[in-house]
Amino acid sequence: MDLNVAAAWLALGKLKSEDAIAAASSALDRGVYSESPGLLLYEQPVWSEVGPLFTKALSELGVPVPSRDEASMTIAREFAVDFGPPQKASSDR
């Protein structure tokens, strides 16, 4: 999961501990590093531990937590990308 998408889920109060850890891991895999994302990899998936550290990681990396409206649009765009471009129905050919 991308950090911006994870930040959007965080803004909506729907980010899971496992997804926060996965987003931090993905960022590290892409060469984006600061102390907090690295520390997240050693945390148990318990929100009371992961949540504050993930919020700190976003801050360290300059990833803002969007407003709820912006977060909703980010999530909608992410789902739209997952579906891909519209396909013509066989009757349209």
Domain residue spans of the chain: 3-80
DSSP annotation string for 50-86: HHHHHHHHHHHTT-PPPPHHHHHHHHHHHHHHHH-SP
Higher pLDDT, 43 or 15: 15
Mean pLDDT for the stretch of residues 3-23: 96
Task: Give the tens place of pLDDT for each residue, 37-90.
Answer: 999 999 899 999 999 999 999 999 999 999 999 999 999 998 887 676 666 766
The pLDDT score that the predictor gives to residue 29 is: 93
The pLDDT score that the predictor gives to residue 79 is: 84
Lookup result for tokens 């700190």:
56
Cα–Cα distance measured from residue 22 to residue 92, given in angstroms and rounded to the nearest whole number:
41
pTM to 2 decimal places: 0.83
3-state SS assignment for residue 12? coil
